[in-house]
Amino acid sequence: MHLCSIRGNLWKSLLNGNPYDFAIDVQGLNKYFGDKHVVRDLSLQVRPGEIVGFLGPNGSGKTTAIRMMCGLLTPDSGEGHCLGHDIRTQSDAIKREVGYMTQKFSYWEDLSIRENLDFVARVYELANRKEIVTEALRNLGLTSRSGQLARSLSGGWKQRLALAACMLRHPRLLLLDEPTAGVDPSARRDFWEELHELASQGVSVLISTHYMDEAERCHKLAYIAYGNLLAQGSAKSIIESQGLYTYEVNGEELMNISKSLARYEAIEQTVIFGSTLHVSGKNPQAIETILQGQRYAAIPTSLEDVFIYLMKHTKDNFGDEGV
Protein backbone atom coordinates (compact mmCIF):
# COMPACT_ATOMS: atom_id res chain seq x y z
CA MET A 1 0.00 0.00 0.00
CA HIS A 2 1.39 3.41 -0.96
CA LEU A 3 0.70 5.93 1.77
CA CYS A 4 2.10 9.07 0.13
CA SER A 5 -1.13 9.95 -1.62
CA ILE A 6 -1.73 13.57 -0.64
CA ARG A 7 -1.06 15.53 -3.81
CA GLY A 8 -0.44 19.07 -4.91
CA ASN A 9 -3.92 20.42 -5.63
CA LEU A 10 -5.04 20.08 -2.01
CA TRP A 11 -1.98 21.66 -0.44
CA LYS A 12 -0.91 24.17 -3.07
CA SER A 13 -4.20 26.02 -2.71
CA LEU A 14 -3.71 26.12 1.05
CA LEU A 15 0.01 26.72 1.43
CA ASN A 16 1.16 28.83 -1.50
CA GLY A 17 1.69 32.48 -0.74
CA ASN A 18 2.35 32.02 2.98
CA PRO A 19 2.65 35.49 4.55
CA TYR A 20 5.47 34.35 6.86
CA ASP A 21 9.06 33.17 6.48
CA PHE A 22 8.90 30.89 9.52
CA ALA A 23 6.10 28.58 10.62
CA ILE A 24 7.43 29.08 14.17
CA ASP A 25 9.60 31.99 15.28
CA VAL A 26 9.93 32.39 19.07
CA GLN A 27 12.40 34.19 21.32
CA GLY A 28 13.16 33.93 25.03
CA LEU A 29 10.25 31.73 26.11
CA ASN A 30 10.09 30.91 29.83
CA LYS A 31 7.60 28.87 31.81
CA TYR A 32 7.29 28.16 35.53
CA PHE A 33 5.07 25.66 37.30
CA GLY A 34 5.23 26.73 40.92
CA ASP A 35 8.91 27.04 41.78
CA LYS A 36 9.99 24.82 38.86
CA HIS A 37 11.56 26.69 35.93
CA VAL A 38 10.37 24.24 33.29
CA VAL A 39 11.53 26.03 30.12
CA ARG A 40 14.38 28.57 30.12
CA ASP A 41 14.89 31.27 27.47
CA LEU A 42 13.86 29.09 24.54
CA SER A 43 14.42 30.53 21.06
CA LEU A 44 13.74 28.54 17.90
CA GLN A 45 12.77 28.96 14.27
CA VAL A 46 10.98 26.41 12.10
CA ARG A 47 10.53 26.96 8.38
CA PRO A 48 7.46 25.93 6.38
CA GLY A 49 7.85 22.31 5.30
CA GLU A 50 10.53 21.58 7.91
CA ILE A 51 10.45 18.52 10.20
CA VAL A 52 11.99 19.34 13.57
CA GLY A 53 12.66 16.60 16.10
CA PHE A 54 12.63 17.34 19.83
CA LEU A 55 15.00 15.15 21.83
CA GLY A 56 15.75 15.01 25.52
CA PRO A 57 15.26 12.99 28.70
CA ASN A 58 11.76 12.35 30.00
CA GLY A 59 10.52 15.30 32.04
CA SER A 60 12.78 17.85 30.37
CA GLY A 61 10.08 20.26 29.22
CA LYS A 62 9.73 19.10 25.60
CA THR A 63 5.93 18.99 25.61
CA THR A 64 5.68 22.29 27.49
CA ALA A 65 8.04 23.92 24.99
CA ILE A 66 6.09 22.65 21.99
CA ARG A 67 2.78 23.84 23.46
CA MET A 68 4.15 27.32 24.15
CA MET A 69 5.64 27.67 20.67
CA CYS A 70 2.27 26.87 19.15
CA GLY A 71 0.08 29.08 21.32
CA LEU A 72 -1.45 26.17 23.24
CA LEU A 73 0.16 27.34 26.50
CA THR A 74 0.92 30.94 27.46
CA PRO A 75 4.59 31.60 28.34
CA ASP A 76 5.44 33.57 31.48
CA SER A 77 7.84 35.66 29.38
CA GLY A 78 9.08 35.77 25.82
CA GLU A 79 7.35 36.32 22.51
CA GLY A 80 6.92 34.91 19.06
CA HIS A 81 4.71 33.92 16.18
CA CYS A 82 3.27 30.63 14.95
CA LEU A 83 1.90 30.43 11.40
CA GLY A 84 2.03 34.20 11.29
CA HIS A 85 -0.08 34.60 14.46
CA ASP A 86 1.07 36.02 17.80
CA ILE A 87 1.44 33.15 20.29
CA ARG A 88 0.10 35.31 23.14
CA THR A 89 -2.86 37.09 21.60
CA GLN A 90 -3.95 34.90 18.67
CA SER A 91 -3.94 31.39 20.12
CA ASP A 92 -7.44 30.63 18.78
CA ALA A 93 -6.31 31.35 15.22
CA ILE A 94 -3.27 29.11 15.71
CA LYS A 95 -5.36 26.22 17.04
CA ARG A 96 -7.49 26.24 13.89
CA GLU A 97 -4.38 25.59 11.77
CA VAL A 98 -2.60 23.02 13.97
CA GLY A 99 -3.03 19.24 14.16
CA TYR A 100 -2.03 17.65 17.49
CA MET A 101 -1.33 13.93 17.90
CA THR A 102 -0.62 12.57 21.37
CA GLN A 103 1.36 9.47 22.32
CA LYS A 104 -1.72 7.86 23.87
CA PHE A 105 -4.44 6.72 21.49
CA SER A 106 -7.39 8.96 22.33
CA TYR A 107 -10.17 7.96 19.98
CA TRP A 108 -13.31 5.89 20.56
CA GLU A 109 -12.70 2.15 20.53
CA ASP A 110 -16.38 1.25 20.09
CA LEU A 111 -16.64 3.29 16.88
CA SER A 112 -15.38 2.32 13.45
CA ILE A 113 -12.59 4.22 11.72
CA ARG A 114 -15.08 6.15 9.60
CA GLU A 115 -17.32 6.87 12.58
CA ASN A 116 -14.36 8.21 14.56
CA LEU A 117 -13.36 10.55 11.75
CA ASP A 118 -16.97 11.63 11.20
CA PHE A 119 -17.32 12.44 14.91
CA VAL A 120 -14.15 14.56 14.87
CA ALA A 121 -15.35 16.34 11.74
CA ARG A 122 -18.65 17.12 13.53
CA VAL A 123 -16.75 18.57 16.49
CA TYR A 124 -14.77 20.78 14.08
CA GLU A 125 -18.05 21.76 12.39
CA LEU A 126 -16.55 21.04 8.98
CA ALA A 127 -18.61 21.68 5.89
CA ASN A 128 -18.81 18.84 3.35
CA ARG A 129 -18.09 16.46 6.20
CA LYS A 130 -18.71 13.26 4.23
CA GLU A 131 -16.32 14.26 1.43
CA ILE A 132 -13.61 15.35 3.87
CA VAL A 133 -13.78 12.08 5.81
CA THR A 134 -13.70 10.04 2.59
CA GLU A 135 -10.67 12.02 1.46
CA ALA A 136 -8.88 11.41 4.78
CA LEU A 137 -9.60 7.67 4.56
CA ARG A 138 -8.18 7.57 1.03
CA ASN A 139 -5.11 9.66 1.80
CA LEU A 140 -4.07 7.49 4.76
CA GLY A 141 -4.88 4.17 3.13
CA LEU A 142 -7.81 3.47 5.45
CA THR A 143 -10.66 3.04 2.96
CA SER A 144 -10.70 -0.77 3.01
CA ARG A 145 -10.78 -0.78 6.82
CA SER A 146 -13.20 2.12 7.29
CA GLY A 147 -15.84 -0.12 8.92
CA GLN A 148 -13.42 -1.76 11.36
CA LEU A 149 -13.80 -0.95 15.05
CA ALA A 150 -10.93 1.04 16.51
CA ARG A 151 -10.51 -1.46 19.36
CA SER A 152 -9.48 -4.17 16.88
CA LEU A 153 -6.73 -2.12 15.23
CA SER A 154 -3.03 -2.80 15.69
CA GLY A 155 -0.76 -0.02 16.93
CA GLY A 156 0.23 0.99 13.41
CA TRP A 157 -3.37 1.26 12.19
CA LYS A 158 -4.40 3.21 15.29
CA GLN A 159 -1.55 5.58 14.57
CA ARG A 160 -2.77 6.01 11.00
CA LEU A 161 -6.31 6.74 12.24
CA ALA A 162 -4.95 9.37 14.64
CA LEU A 163 -2.98 11.05 11.85
CA ALA A 164 -6.03 11.01 9.59
CA ALA A 165 -8.02 12.78 12.32
CA CYS A 166 -5.25 15.38 12.65
CA MET A 167 -5.38 16.05 8.91
CA LEU A 168 -9.15 16.63 8.64
CA ARG A 169 -8.72 20.40 8.86
CA HIS A 170 -5.68 20.41 6.53
CA PRO A 171 -3.37 21.92 9.18
CA ARG A 172 -0.26 23.89 8.28
CA LEU A 173 1.54 22.55 11.35
CA LEU A 174 1.56 19.11 13.00
CA LEU A 175 2.51 18.57 16.66
CA LEU A 176 3.39 14.92 17.29
CA ASP A 177 4.19 13.80 20.83
CA GLU A 178 6.10 10.48 20.58
CA PRO A 179 3.55 9.20 18.05
CA THR A 180 5.37 5.97 17.17
CA ALA A 181 5.92 4.62 20.70
CA GLY A 182 5.06 0.92 20.69
CA VAL A 183 4.60 0.75 16.92
CA ASP A 184 6.39 -1.89 14.85
CA PRO A 185 9.31 -0.84 12.57
CA SER A 186 7.38 -1.32 9.32
CA ALA A 187 4.51 0.91 10.47
CA ARG A 188 7.01 3.49 11.73
CA ARG A 189 8.70 3.56 8.33
CA ASP A 190 5.35 4.07 6.56
CA PHE A 191 4.47 6.84 9.02
CA TRP A 192 7.70 8.70 8.28
CA GLU A 193 7.17 8.42 4.55
CA GLU A 194 3.82 10.11 5.06
CA LEU A 195 5.40 12.87 7.16
CA HIS A 196 7.97 13.63 4.48
CA GLU A 197 5.24 13.72 1.85
CA LEU A 198 3.34 16.26 3.95
CA ALA A 199 6.53 18.28 4.50
CA SER A 200 7.15 18.33 0.75
CA GLN A 201 3.75 20.02 0.40
CA GLY A 202 4.70 22.75 2.94
CA VAL A 203 3.36 21.30 6.20
CA SER A 204 5.69 21.91 9.16
CA VAL A 205 6.14 19.16 11.76
CA LEU A 206 7.30 19.25 15.37
CA ILE A 207 7.86 15.73 16.69
CA SER A 208 9.24 14.46 19.97
CA THR A 209 10.93 11.07 19.78
CA HIS A 210 13.41 8.81 21.56
CA TYR A 211 14.19 6.74 18.46
CA MET A 212 17.56 7.72 16.99
CA ASP A 213 16.73 6.41 13.52
CA GLU A 214 13.68 8.69 13.52
CA ALA A 215 15.69 11.66 14.77
CA GLU A 216 18.07 11.24 11.85
CA ARG A 217 15.12 11.54 9.45
CA CYS A 218 14.29 15.04 10.70
CA HIS A 219 15.53 18.10 8.86
CA LYS A 220 16.58 19.67 12.15
CA LEU A 221 16.89 18.60 15.77
CA ALA A 222 16.51 20.46 19.04
CA TYR A 223 17.91 18.87 22.18
CA ILE A 224 16.25 20.13 25.37
CA ALA A 225 17.31 18.97 28.81
CA TYR A 226 15.60 20.11 32.02
CA GLY A 227 14.33 23.30 30.47
CA ASN A 228 17.47 24.31 28.57
CA LEU A 229 17.87 24.08 24.80
CA LEU A 230 21.41 22.68 24.65
CA ALA A 231 21.82 22.00 20.93
CA GLN A 232 19.98 22.55 17.68
CA GLY A 233 20.69 21.98 14.01
CA SER A 234 21.02 19.02 11.69
CA ALA A 235 22.01 15.64 13.10
CA LYS A 236 25.44 16.06 11.51
CA SER A 237 26.03 19.52 12.99
CA ILE A 238 24.95 18.42 16.48
CA ILE A 239 27.31 15.44 16.37
CA GLU A 240 30.17 17.66 15.22
CA SER A 241 29.42 20.31 17.86
CA GLN A 242 30.16 17.92 20.73
CA GLY A 243 33.69 17.16 19.54
CA LEU A 244 33.59 13.50 20.55
CA TYR A 245 35.91 10.81 19.20
CA THR A 246 34.51 7.29 19.44
CA TYR A 247 36.16 3.89 19.38
CA GLU A 248 34.64 0.43 19.15
CA VAL A 249 36.14 -2.17 21.47
CA ASN A 250 35.66 -5.89 20.84
CA GLY A 251 36.38 -8.70 23.22
CA GLU A 252 35.17 -10.68 26.19
CA GLU A 253 33.84 -9.29 29.49
CA LEU A 254 32.92 -5.89 28.06
CA MET A 255 31.26 -4.82 31.30
CA ASN A 256 34.52 -5.28 33.19
CA ILE A 257 36.40 -3.38 30.49
CA SER A 258 33.84 -0.58 30.71
CA LYS A 259 34.27 -0.34 34.48
CA SER A 260 38.06 -0.31 34.23
CA LEU A 261 37.99 2.51 31.64
CA ALA A 262 35.65 4.68 33.71
CA ARG A 263 38.49 5.76 36.03
CA TYR A 264 40.34 7.59 33.26
CA GLU A 265 39.63 11.30 32.90
CA ALA A 266 40.03 11.17 29.11
CA ILE A 267 37.17 8.65 28.83
CA GLU A 268 33.96 10.67 28.69
CA GLN A 269 31.66 7.66 28.41
CA THR A 270 31.48 3.93 27.71
CA VAL A 271 28.33 2.31 26.34
CA ILE A 272 27.80 -1.35 25.44
CA PHE A 273 26.10 -1.89 22.09
CA GLY A 274 25.43 -5.62 21.78
CA SER A 275 28.78 -7.38 21.41
CA THR A 276 30.83 -4.18 21.22
CA LEU A 277 31.75 -1.35 23.57
CA HIS A 278 31.68 2.27 22.42
CA VAL A 279 34.31 4.43 24.11
CA SER A 280 34.09 8.20 23.62
CA GLY A 281 36.10 11.24 24.64
CA LYS A 282 37.57 14.47 23.34
CA ASN A 283 41.28 13.54 23.31
CA PRO A 284 41.87 10.79 20.74
CA GLN A 285 45.57 10.41 21.50
CA ALA A 286 44.90 9.86 25.19
CA ILE A 287 42.09 7.40 24.45
CA GLU A 288 44.25 5.36 22.08
CA THR A 289 47.00 5.19 24.70
CA ILE A 290 44.49 3.94 27.28
CA LEU A 291 43.12 1.33 24.86
CA GLN A 292 46.51 -0.21 24.15
CA GLY A 293 46.17 -3.95 24.65
CA GLN A 294 42.49 -3.94 23.61
CA ARG A 295 41.06 -4.82 20.20
CA TYR A 296 39.67 -1.49 19.06
CA ALA A 297 39.01 0.67 16.01
CA ALA A 298 38.02 4.29 15.50
CA ILE A 299 34.42 4.70 14.30
CA PRO A 300 32.26 7.72 13.46
CA THR A 301 30.46 9.14 16.48
CA SER A 302 26.75 8.41 16.11
CA LEU A 303 23.78 10.53 17.09
CA GLU A 304 22.98 7.95 19.77
CA ASP A 305 26.51 8.32 21.22
CA VAL A 306 25.94 12.09 21.42
CA PHE A 307 22.43 11.71 22.83
CA ILE A 308 23.71 9.50 25.65
CA TYR A 309 26.61 11.90 26.24
CA LEU A 310 24.29 14.89 26.54
CA MET A 311 21.97 13.01 28.90
CA LYS A 312 24.86 12.00 31.16
CA HIS A 313 26.27 15.52 31.29
CA THR A 314 23.03 17.32 32.06
CA LYS A 315 21.96 17.94 35.64
CA ASP A 316 18.34 17.16 36.49
CA ASN A 317 17.48 20.26 38.46
CA PHE A 318 13.79 19.31 38.67
CA GLY A 319 14.34 16.41 41.03
CA ASP A 320 12.20 13.35 40.32
CA GLU A 321 9.36 15.29 38.73
CA GLY A 322 9.12 16.32 35.11
CA VAL A 323 6.79 18.17 32.80
Can you name the CATH fold of 244-300? Alpha-Beta Plaits (3.30.70)
Reported as a single tens digit per residue, the pLDDT across 125-154 is: 988 899 999 998 988 888 999 999 988 988
Which residues on neighbouring strands pair with residue 285, listed in sequence order?
none
| pTM for this entry | 0.83
- For the stretch 264-296, pLDDT in tens is 999 999 999 989 999 999 999 999 999 999 999
Summarised one tens digit per residue, pLDDT across range 68-89 is 988 889 999 999 999 999 999 9
Indicate the fold that domain 8-238 takes in CATH.
Rossmann fold (3.40.50)
| Domain range list for the chain | 8-238, 244-300
Whole-angstrom Cα distance, residue 90 to residue 81?
9
Compute the CA torsion angle 237, 238, 241, 245 (nearest 10 deg). -100
Name, in order, each residue with C-beta under 8 angstroms of 78's C-beta and a sequence gap of 6 or more.
26, 27, 28, 29, 30, 41, 42, 68
